[in-house]
Structure 1
């Protein structure tokens, strides 16, 4: 149990913020090694670790954006930080709406190896195309409400397993003319409210169901996912402008091929 928890938390932490689909990676251990689902409590734990990592890494931005947002409400004072904060709020709404309306349908009918294999490849190619045509001139502060809404819709699309929340929001940011670094930073910042809301929803379900909590696995999940996600964010931002998105596109194509091979072997 502990070994499974550590490995799955590592996978979650490293893949949550890379444009390579965490769901595609999490399905492989269960298919190849026959591991059982760790359960909703463990899901909450690893997402909490990822949330803590992104909040810690962007703690200065989070603090300044929060102060500016509250000031814009109390004093009607607008600034570049408050406008970005409102853009992040707007970008959160589409995924919340789609999640509430269609979350159960997506979980019941789209969470399969075949779907994940297809979306891993298709959205990998879309990321390549977006990077190819990208103009790369906008910062995250130039998003605007239309851009924020488009990025929010892209994040909602990531509810389809295999799409990759990081990948599709990076794709949308590049299509809007944002620099790679700006698109990645906006993607990281917009992950904070959506992970918080999703984790709170899962935790509420966990409490109401009265499920027994495996505290050792929970602790390992939080710590390991925090450390691996923090390392992932730092390395991704440091390397993105240097290496571009092509290594991630090629990786997605290879991963999708492996998933097709694995699923075909089960027929």
Structure 2
């Protein structure tokens, strides 16, 4: 990979991991337009590490509190809103884990085309617009209940289809279930922690078993850039959605999907 590719792809990964705009579509365009090759396992591991550190650092207070409360719920049978939220995050992670375990090969074989990514970018963008426009916005992440959380988890499993956007589909589900915009975003970000950790662990295992060469300078730069862009993204996004809602991201998704279709048909 060239220095330009490392910088662009790391920043794009850091931003699109948490913005509801589809990372898959952004990674397809450079390869289609500029002829860039796949970034490889080592780089994937690096950017996963960067984004994971960013989200854990940003929500360090919540993560620490939930971890302690969860341990108390297991060891001392003491439950509060933080322990419930921790259990809900575990519950909501299960559908995506199962979908990845049993459906990954099918998705890789049949659903990774540019046209699928363009279509899902547009369709789920419109769904996000509908959810944001009709949302009641009456509850926060602590008031959700396990049934609603499980639905969000099932929605997250759908994000295995490229172009859907994990953050986009979980925020869409949260809004449809009555969460405020900020609560839907916060829950989506917290829900990303175990999933990014699992995905990063899987990629790391593949990297070590593949025997692929590792260029450590590229990995470190990719991790640092994805960390910075993800941290900035989370901070700004939580501020923007309270004032502007999801419409700017919906418009962007529609334009991106159309641009991808144009590029693919030229």
TM-score normalised by L of structure 2: 0.98
In structure 1, what is the equivalent of residue 163 of structure 2? 162
Deviations 1:30-61 (CA, angstroms, capped at 9, x unpaired): 11000111101111111111111000000000
Greater CA drift, 209-218 or 159-168: 209-218
Pairs within 5 Å for 1:1-267: 1-265=2-266
Deviation at 1:111, TM superposition (A): 1.1
Q: Whole-Å Cα distance in 1 between the matches of residues 105 and 216 of structure 2?
A: 27
Q: Structure 1, residues 223-246: CA drift from partner, whole Å, max 9, x if none?
A: 000000000000000111100001
Structure 2 counterpart SS, 1:217: helix
- In 1, Cα distance between equivalents of 2:121 and 2:135: 21
Q: Write out per-residue CA displacement over residues 211-266 of structure 1, whole angstroms, 9 at most, x where no aligned residue.
A: 1112121111100000000000000001111000011111111000000000111x
CA distance in 1, matches of 2:39, 2:16: 17
Please give the root-mean-square deviation of Cα atoms over the aligned residues, in Å: 0.7
SS in 1 for 2:138: coil
4+ residue runs over 3 A deviation = none
> By how many angstroms is 1:108 displaced?
2.0
**Could you tell me how far apart the structure 2 residues matched to 1:169 and 1:218 are?**
29
Please list every run of 5 or more consecutive structure 2 residues that lacks an aligned counterpart in the other structure. none
SS at match of 1:160: coil
Instruction: Provide the aligned length of Structure 1 versus Structure 2.
Output: 265
- Partner deviation per Cα, 1:62-112 (whole Å, 9 max, x = no partner): 000000001100001110000000000000000000000011211222111
Checking the alignment, whether the CA contact within 8 Å between 1:65 and 1:82 is kept in structure 2 is yes
In the TM superposition, what is the alpha-carbon distance from 1:176 to its structure 2 partner?
A: 0.5
Instruction: Please say which of residues 209-218 and 166-175 is displaced more in the overlay.
Output: 209-218
Distance (whole Å) between structure 2 residues aligned to residue 220 and residue 84 of structure 1: 34
CA offsets per residue over residues 178-206 of structure 1, 9 Å max, x none?
00000000000000000000110111111
TM (norm. structure 1) is 0.98
Distance 2:190 2:6 in 1: 27
- 1:93, 1:152 within 8 Å by CA — same for their partners in 2? yes
List alignment gaps of at least 5 residues for structure 1: none
CA offset digits 1:156-190 (Å, max 9, x no partner) = 00000000001000000000100000000000000
